[in-house]
């Protein structure tokens, strides 16, 4: 490291295991974050990476294919032995601070498969273009998360009757280097915070959470924009108002309360905070561009999810949405986990085809075939996913 940096690493003996200094982080993000070389880097300041659809074929997303969405700098020199989580705020009865050992020994552990999707997943399709990372379809994952229920910890602290929201605070630092600025500090209504699946997680897929995904402690709020699942968590505020932290106002993670024309300017008072994510699906096998011999059938599979709801029906079309056929759809492993689907398709003759996938949620709302309503930041694109197939 000293040779690569051109200087000795002062306090290098205190570097956490597997930690790479920031000065070296620009060199190889795939090695740095243990990601597959097919992952797509959208930004390096801060780091943002997404998967391609076919990389997400695993039923439970491994780290190597999990998207990264950062707003600031990954914290340096994380020491789990001295890490503490403070719970305070104007609506906390008795503010408390917990070590990781406290959390792990005082409260019951729970494991859930939880779907996390960036609110801007699919942004690249919007026109006029929306500012921000130009995500295609790969900013989504469903891993096994293990931790303690946030509700159990909040009950231990005590929640006043005027509480309406929680806000999170974390150890990542602002890109400007200003210690007074938080890169992001979002939150959720108290009802979401008290759901049994909302976790203070310390493990992902049975191992310590990778640093890029929030080690040593992360809030996980499945089914809502992944920005509500704060990484490197060191404080939670119990609020008597909607949390007003960084990226809670303006157009951040908000959409117009009413439909607007593309390109419109929308006043902040007319913007609503995104909560449950919309119904969506992804064909993960085969890879788009597949070649198939005439007379052979093709089995497709993928995942579908619907925020707080379940997916009730999954369909596919090979005639550009004119007709739809049913897929086999599995129940979720638990609430807020994505659901797996599969279908075997026969093609009538040689030629070019597109397979379109459409999920319908438990309220009967299906994915739109084309881009949904425009919004200034390009959030919530849940148009049908499609892949190309050629029969030869």
Confidence of residue 28 (pLDDT cuts 50, 70, 90): confident
Domains of the chain, first to last: 84-273 (3.90.420.10), 280-391 (2.60.40.650)
Q: What is the mean pLDDT of the chain?
A: 94
Q: How many C-beta neighbours within 10 Å does residue 293 have?
A: 8
Q: Identify the pLDDT of residue 154.
A: 98
Half-sphere exposure of 121 toward its Cβ, with a 13 Å CA cutoff?
A: 31
Confidence of residue 2 (pLDDT cuts 50, 70, 90): low
The string of pLDDT tens digits covering residues 354-367 is 999 999 999 999 99
The string of pLDDT tens digits covering residues 280-319 is 999 999 999 999 999 999 999 999 999 999 999 999 999 9
The string of pLDDT tens digits covering residues 38-63 is 999 999 889 999 999 999 999 999 99
Q: Identify the pLDDT of residue 6.
A: 60
Nearest to 164 by CA among 137, 125, 183, 190: 190
The string of pLDDT tens digits covering residues 169-221 is 999 999 998 989 999 999 999 999 999 999 999 999 999 999 999 999 999 99
Give the angle subtended at the CA of 61 by the CAs of 63 and 355, to the nearest 5°: 130
Task: Give φ, ψ of 211 to 5 degrees.
Answer: -55, -45
CA distance 290 to 137: 18
Task: Let me know: does 30 contact 274? Beta carbons within 8 Å.
Answer: no
What average pLDDT score do residues 264-271 get? Answer: 93
């Amino acid at each position: 490291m000293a040779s690569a940096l051109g200087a000795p690493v002062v306090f290098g003996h205190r570097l956490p295991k597997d930690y790479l200094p920031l000065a070296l982080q620009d060199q190889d993000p795939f090695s740095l974050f243990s990601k597959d070389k097919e992952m797509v880097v959208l930004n390096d300041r801060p780091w943002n990476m997404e998967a391609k659809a076919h990389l997400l074929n695993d039923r439970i997303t491994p780290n190597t294919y999990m998207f990264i969405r950062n707003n600031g700098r990954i914290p340096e020199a994380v020491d789990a032995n001295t890490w503490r989580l403070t719970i305070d705020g104007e609506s906390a009865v008795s503010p408390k601070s917990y070590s990781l050992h406290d959390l792990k020994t005082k409260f019951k552990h729970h494991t859930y498969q939880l779907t996390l999707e960036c609110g801007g997943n699919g942004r690249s399709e919007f026109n006029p273009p929306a500012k921000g990372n130009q995500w295609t379809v790969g900013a989504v994952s469903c891993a096994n998360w293990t931790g303690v229920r946030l509700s159990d910890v909040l009950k231990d602290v005590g929640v006043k009757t005027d509480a309406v929201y929680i806000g999170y605070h974390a150890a990542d630092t602002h890109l400007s280097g200003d210690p007074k600025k938080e890169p992001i500090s979002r939150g959720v209504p108290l009802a979401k915070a008290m759901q049994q699946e909302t976790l203070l997680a310390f493990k992902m897929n049975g191992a310590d959470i990778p640093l890029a995904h929030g080690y040593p402690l992360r809030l996980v709020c499945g089914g809502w924009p992944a920005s509500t699942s704060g990484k490197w968590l060191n404080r939670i505020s119990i609020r008597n108002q909607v949390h007003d932290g960084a990226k809670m106002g303006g157009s951040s993670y908000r959409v117009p309360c009413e439909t607007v024309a593309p390109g419109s300017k929308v006043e902040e008072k007319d913007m609503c905070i995104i909560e449950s994510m919309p119904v969506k699906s992804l064909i993960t096998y085969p890879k788009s561009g597949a070649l198939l011999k005439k007379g052979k059938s093709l089995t497709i599979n993928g995942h579908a999810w619907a925020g707080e709801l379940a997916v009730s029906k999954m369909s596919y079309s090979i005639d550009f949405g004119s007709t739809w056929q049913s897929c086999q759809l599995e129940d979720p492993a638990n609430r807020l986990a994505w659901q797996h689907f599969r279908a075997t398709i026969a093609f009538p003759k040689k030629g070019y085809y597109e397979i379109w996938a459409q999920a319908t949620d438990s309220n009967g709302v299906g994915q739109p075939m084309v881009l949904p309503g425009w919004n200034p930041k390009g959030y919530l694109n849940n148009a049908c996913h499609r892949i190309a197939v050629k029969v030869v």
